[in-house]
Amino acid sequence: MHLTDGDRAMLDGAKGAAPQLAMQILVRMAEVYGADELMDITQAHIDSTIYLGDATLEFAERLAALGAKVAVPTSLNVSGVDECGWKDWAVPADWAAKAARQMLAYERMGAVPTWTCAPYQTKMRPSFGQQIAWGESNAIAFANSVIGARTERYPDLLDICCAIAGRVPAVGLHLTENRAGQLLLRLAGIPRALQQDDQFFAVLGHLVGKLAGDLIPVIEGVDVVPTEDHLKAFSAAVASSGRVALFHIVGVTPEAGTLDAAFQGRAPRQTQEITIADLRAARRELTTADGQPLDMVILGSPHFSVAEFVQLAPLVAGKRRHAKVKFLITSGRFMKEMAEKAGVLGPIVDFGAQITLDTCILASPMLPPEIKTLMTNSPKYAYYAPSLLNTRVTFGSLADCVRSAVEGRVVRDDSLWETP
Amino acid sequence: MNEVDSVDFVIRGRPIVAGSAEGEALVTHEALSFWGGYDFHTGTIIDKHHPLAGVSAAGRILAVPCSKGSSTTTAVLLEAVRAGTAPAAILTTDADSFFALASIVAGVMYGKSFPVVALESRDFDALESGTRLRIEPTGIVRRV
């Protein structure tokens, strides 16, 4: 592998112990990736912020103690604790203290404390064609596909090494030729009314993630204009049920103006149809609850955006959640601040909603054991909560979630999805 | 092509992270996310969508085609190494960068990397759960 003089200086320790450690890991990984050389990045997003236990903390504190500094503008993913609100929940004090130490370690490295899994909805949003090193599966899929920035699927522990070195292996999705579609998925007779439904892109993403395997999927036949938050839900779903880091939606995403453009003029390796029956089955998979009482509505994975706060406010205005159903929104500090400025938080708080910042129910042990059944409009929460939290979950639209919270039981309008 | 001998079961894989290990094979043909899929306190696979849900992979030779889902898979594996609940080795079909990174960082942090070996698909398909396997630094996988 060819290393530049700058790379070698880092590797030899001439630029300090932290860049040396980062470059050692990076060079070994470049060999795993089969890279011939490294290349520059101009931004990073760090998923290693998620506190899991002593190992993630020791890794962060070791880098910080070596004096590590990020070499490029760097945003931070969710942490393991809402520093201001954790005492309202079941978070053990020891966990909160260690998760806060891990946050501090990454802040000491000079990263911007965004603390969100939707960094593309903050001022750290990258631009089309920008070379970046991002962690967090939903953010990777969104940055590559919806924005057209270029990142490989960087795992925790490597993302921070890339940020410290400002270099990445020159492989994979950083290079134009590797961004062509490979699997053509055609929507077959999916009615426009269903495509316009709030749940459509989340369900489609869950299905595409399972179909895509290692291939870059291209979806043809979308004839609605999805909102950014629909594409966010799609990105989260496709990277939960599968390992998709880049997708193209013809006529929607920036590298897929036409079918031909999405495939860079090549022929699809495989073609498959997606029918309404496939979508119905995929939607049913996202629900594991079966008639149990509802304990909590949970929104915001990826983190709830300003647009989602704006969408929620009129749905809850003048209403109050049922006394037995908690209503929790997970978001980032910047999103909440912008929602405050937009003046939409009042009715949401009056409704009885709580807002947790900087983390989520999957990354922080915040839910008390009596919370056994959830309802959500997030395909990522629906996918992971049963395994990670041992809860049952019902997937539904945002409006369904609000109605259910008011009535104190799961109420879903399934007319678009389940009619024959 | 690689030789798979049914009597003296020997597979020649590609060592992504070289090392030695021995243990009972645990084989799945479905990708696995360790975050939300692996309890590092116990070494149990907990992804309820996964066919190995409820099974412990601690100390075993885990054969899984590749990782999927969350990029936190690497951190969960690092925690598992520190807690002594990681698989003894991982066999894949792709040169899976997530598993490789976890092993490399486990080596840097704790001096405890584990072998990660990529196999040809048809060699991978010949693996069976319950067989006792030995992994050699050259990437050779033997039944013992």
The DSSP-derived string for A349-360 is: HHTT-EEEES--
Percent over 90 (pLDDT), chain A: 97
Cβ of A52 within 8 Å of Cβ of B47? The answer is no
B16 vs B65: CA distance, rounded Å = 14
Among B70, B93, B108, the strongest candidate for a mutation testing the A interface, having the largest count of A CBs within 10 A, is B70
Judged by CB atoms within 8 Å, which residues 24-83 of B form the interface with A?
A: 31, 33, 36-37, 40, 46-49, 53, 66-76, 78-79, 81-83
DSSP string, A365-390: --S-TT--EEEES-HHHHHHHHHHT-
Percent over 70 (pLDDT), chain B: 95
Residue that finishes a domain, picked among A240, A264, A285: A285
Angstroms from A401 CA to nearest CA on chain B = 24
Cβ of A59 within 8 Å of Cβ of B47? The answer is no
Q: Does B86 touch chain A if contact means CB atoms closer than 8 Å?
A: no
- Chain A residue with the nearest C-alpha to that of B70: A137
Q: Is the peptide bond before A302 cis (omega within 30 degrees of 0)?
A: yes
Q: Give yes or no: residues A385 and A341 share one domain.
A: yes
Could you give the number of structural domains in chain B? Answer: 1
Q: Which element (helix H / strand E) includes A404?
A: helix A398-407
Percent over 70 (pLDDT), chain A: 100
pLDDT in tens, A129-177: 999 999 999 999 999 999 999 999 999 999 999 999 999 999 999 999 9
Residue A109 belongs to domain with CATH number = 3.30.499
A228 vs A223: CA distance, rounded Å = 15
Q: Give yes or no: residues A206 and A344 share one domain.
A: no
Q: Give yes or no: residues A57 and A165 share one domain.
A: yes
HSE value, Cβ hemisphere, 13 Å, CA-based, for B12: 3
Q: Does B108 touch chain A if contact means CB atoms closer than 8 Å?
A: yes
Tell me how crowded residue A74 is: count the other CB atoms within 10 A of its CB: 28
The answer to whether residue A233 sits within a structural domain is yes
- Chain A residue with the nearest C-alpha to that of B106: A55
Q: Which SS3 state, helix, strand or coil, does residue A254 take?
A: coil
Angstroms from B101 CA to nearest CA on chain A = 7
Q: Of A263, A236, A267, which is closest to residue A250 (Cα–Cα)?
A: A263
**Where in the sequence is the domain holding B78, given as residue range(s)?**
10-143
- Environment class of A343 (CB within 10 Å of its CB; exposed 0-12, middle 13-18, buried 19+): exposed
Residues of chain B found within 8 Å of residue A62, distances taken between Cβ atoms: 109
- Name the band, by pLDDT with cuts 50, 70 and 90, for residue B36: confident
A253 vs A24: CA distance, rounded Å = 36
A335 vs A114: CA distance, rounded Å = 10
Residue B101 belongs to domain with CATH number = 3.50.30.10
Q: Give yes or no: residues A140 and A40 share one domain.
A: yes
Q: Give yes or no: residues A79 and A206 share one domain.
A: no
The answer to whether residue A290 sits within a structural domain is no
Q: Does A387 touch chain B if contact means CB atoms closer than 8 Å?
A: yes
Cβ of B94 within 8 Å of Cβ of A214? The answer is yes
Cβ of A155 within 8 Å of Cβ of B16? The answer is no
Q: How many residues does chain A have?
A: 420
Q: Which SS3 state, helix, strand or coil, does residue A362 take?
A: coil
CA angle, A291 as apex, A286 and A294 as ends, to 5°?
Answer: 80
Residue B71: the pLDDT is 81
| Dihedral angle of Cα A4, A8, A10, A13, to the nearest 10 degrees | -170
Phi, psi of A59, rounded to the nearest 5 degrees: -65, -50
Non-local (6+) Cβ contacts of A56 within 8 A are A48, A50, A102, A156, B75, B78, B79
The answer to whether residue B72 sits within a structural domain is yes
Q: Give yes or no: residues A354 and A215 share one domain.
A: no
Could you give the number of structural domains in chain A? Answer: 3
Phi, psi of B48, rounded to the nearest 5 degrees: -70, -15
- Name the band, by pLDDT with cuts 50, 70 and 90, for residue A61: very high
β pairing state of B14-17 and B116-118: antiparallel
- Name the band, by pLDDT with cuts 50, 70 and 90, for residue A391: very high
Asked if residue B106 lies in contact with residue B80, where contact means CB atoms within 8 angstroms, the answer is no
Residue B48: the pLDDT is 85
Cβ of B109 within 8 Å of Cβ of A59? The answer is yes
Residues of chain A found within 8 Å of residue B73, distances taken between Cβ atoms: 155-156
- Name the band, by pLDDT with cuts 50, 70 and 90, for residue A221: very high
Residue B68: the pLDDT is 81
Q: Does A154 touch chain B if contact means CB atoms closer than 8 Å?
A: yes
Q: Give yes or no: residues A51 and A166 share one domain.
A: yes
The answer to whether residue A358 sits within a structural domain is yes
Q: Give yes or no: residues A157 and A10 share one domain.
A: yes
Residue that finishes a domain, picked among A120, A146, A175: A175
pLDDT in tens, A102-119: 999 999 999 999 999 999
Residue B7: the pLDDT is 58
Look at A144-148, A354-358, B41-45, B49-53 and tell me which has the smallest mean pLDDT: B49-53
Phi, psi of A314, rounded to the nearest 5 degrees: -65, -25
Q: Which element (helix H / strand E) includes B82?
A: helix B73-83
What value does the mean pLDDT of chain A take?
97
Residue A420 has pLDDT above 80, yes or no: no
| Dihedral angle of Cα A85, A91, A95, A97, to the nearest 10 degrees | 30
Cβ of B70 within 8 Å of Cβ of A240? The answer is yes
- Environment class of A34 (CB within 10 Å of its CB; exposed 0-12, middle 13-18, buried 19+): exposed
**Where in the sequence is the domain holding A60, given as residue range(s)?**
5-175
Which amino acid, one-letter code, is at A154?
A: Y
Q: Give yes or no: residues A303 and A249 share one domain.
A: no
Q: What is the mean pLDDT of residues B16-23?
A: 98
What value does the mean pLDDT of chain B take?
93
CA distances from A81 to A243, A331, A362 (A): 26, 12, 11
Residue that finishes a domain, picked among A231, A257, A285: A285
Cβ of A21 within 8 Å of Cβ of B16? The answer is no
The answer to whether residue B114 sits within a structural domain is yes
Angstroms from B95 CA to nearest CA on chain A = 7
Q: Give yes or no: residues A147 and A198 share one domain.
A: no
Q: Give yes or no: residues A206 and A235 share one domain.
A: yes
Residue B3 has pLDDT above 90, yes or no: no
The answer to whether residue A165 sits within a structural domain is yes
Q: Of A266, A35, A155, A289, which is closest to residue B78 (Cα–Cα)?
A: A155
Asked if residue A50 lies in contact with residue A78, where contact means CB atoms within 8 angstroms, the answer is yes
Asked if residue A286 lies in contact with residue A378, where contact means CB atoms within 8 angstroms, the answer is no
Strands (E), B32-143: 38-39, 44-45, 61-63, 89-92, 116-118, 132-135, 140-143
- Name the band, by pLDDT with cuts 50, 70 and 90, for residue B1: very low
DSSP string, A12-40: HTTT-HHHHHHHHHHHHHHHHHT-SBEEE
- Chain B residue with the nearest C-alpha to that of A384: B36
Asked if residue B61 lies in contact with residue B85, where contact means CB atoms within 8 angstroms, the answer is no
The answer to whether residue B103 sits within a structural domain is yes
pLDDT in tens, A169-203: 999 999 999 999 999 999 999 999 999 999 999 99
Cβ of B71 within 8 Å of Cβ of A55? The answer is no
Q: Give yes or no: residues A230 and A136 share one domain.
A: no
The answer to whether residue B88 sits within a structural domain is yes
Residues of chain B found within 8 Å of residue A56, distances taken between Cβ atoms: 75, 78-79
Residue A337 belongs to domain with CATH number = 3.30.499.10
Residues of chain A found within 8 Å of residue B67, distances taken between Cβ atoms: 243
Q: Which SS3 state, helix, strand or coil, does residue A89 take?
A: coil
The answer to whether residue B2 sits within a structural domain is no
DSSP string, A309-341: HHHHHHHHTT----TT-EEEEEE-HHHHHHHHH
